[in-house]
Amino acid sequence: YSNHRNIATYYGAFIKKSPPGKDDQLWLVMEYCGAGSVTDLVKSTKGQSLKEEWIAYISREILRGLSYLHSNKVIHRDIKGQNVLLTDNAEVKL
């Protein structure tokens, strides 16, 4: 499901083995989104509000990504600011 502009490209996954007594970790390899998350963006405003146009843009792009997933019978199940990523070109990715 990586052929949509609002879905981060998935490259693969691997399991990182942990020492005995600790759980192994599943690591996903995805497209790099250098501007961080929407949560990072909100924190960086330091109490100032985001412009309405920027909020509308992010919301619209999230909905486009969700619409694409739903049309392919995929449910995200964890939409939150930390999981909405931004590229250096201001692209919004789920």
What's the number of CA atoms in the CB half-sphere (13 Å) around residue 63? 6
> Mapping DSSP to helix (H, G, I), strand (E, B) and coil, where does residue 21 land?
coil
C-alpha 83/C-alpha 33 separation (Å) is 11
Give catalytic residues, as residue numbers: 78
C-alpha 94/C-alpha 34 separation (Å) is 14
Spacing of C-alpha 85 from chain mean position: 4
> Mapping DSSP to helix (H, G, I), strand (E, B) and coil, where does residue 8 land?
coil
